[in-house]
């Protein structure tokens, strides 16, 4: 296989796992290059006050220009910039952080695109597998009625899909008791 014509879906699974291990090593190297990255939990990420909108970096830079040209009215904010001077709003520090925000957001977008592509490839492959195997599962369920061997082989699938069905049935029953509309699965 020439590298130019190789698609993830066509790489033998063993070779794919080797490549993924190498990719994980690269991810570890990236993490070493960026020490002190912060990890927020989902709630903190969703509600962060640090989410800057398009054009906001430039707008905040204009605010910094105003503060730098006449710092006295802003001295009361000195203890809120996490800087070293408790008597002054440190515009150079804040401008540097703003530059970090821009650089990190740009890199995060690149990494997110890669993560999306990896996830989308897994979804695409799953969409090529799942419908066929769910149809086969329906046939196998019927075959299992007359074959102990098929019943044994299918046990994990029956347990898995049975648990999903029972959970759905329980949710519908609970909603019916509350007077919510009942939908069939």
**94 class by beta-carbon count within 10 Å (0-12 exposed, 13-18 middle, 19+ buried):** buried
Gap between the Cα atoms of 60 and 57, Å rounded? 5
Length of the chain: 185
pTM of this prediction? 0.75
Q: What pLDDT tens digit does each residue of the chain (185 aa) get?
A: 445 567 999 999 999 999 999 999 999 999 999 999 999 999 999 999 999 999 999 999 999 999 999 999 999 999 999 999 999 999 999 999 999 999 999 999 999 999 999 999 999 999 999 999 999 999 999 999 999 999 999 999 999 999 999 999 999 999 888 876 656 55
**182 class by beta-carbon count within 10 Å (0-12 exposed, 13-18 middle, 19+ buried):** exposed
Alpha-carbon Rg of the chain, whole angstroms? 28
Gap between the Cα atoms of 42 and 172, Å rounded? 29
């Amino acid at each position: 296989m020439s590298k130019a014509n190789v698609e993830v879906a066509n790489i033998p699974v063993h070779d794919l796992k080797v490549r993924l291990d190498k990719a994980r090593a690269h991810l570890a190297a990236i993490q070493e290059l960026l020490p002190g990255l912060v990890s927020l939990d989902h709630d903190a990420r969703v509600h962060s006050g640090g989410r800057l909108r398009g054009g906001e970096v430039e707008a905040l830079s204009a605010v910094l220009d105003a503060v730098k040209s006449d710092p006295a009215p802003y001295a009361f904010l000195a203890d809120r910039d996490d800087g070293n001077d408790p008597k002054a709003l440190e515009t150079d520090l804040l401008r540097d952080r703003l530059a970090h925000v821009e650089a990190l957001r740009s890199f995060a977008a690149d990494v997110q695109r890669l993560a999306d592509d990896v996830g989308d490839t897994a979804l695409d492959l799953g969409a090529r597998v799942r419908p066929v195997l769910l149809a086969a599962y329906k046939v196998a369920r019927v075959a299992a009625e007359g074959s102990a061997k098929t019943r044994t082989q299918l046990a994990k699938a029956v347990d898995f899909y049975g648990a999903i069905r029972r959970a759905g049935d329980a949710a519908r029953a609970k909603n019916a008791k509350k007077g919510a509309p009942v939908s069939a699965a």
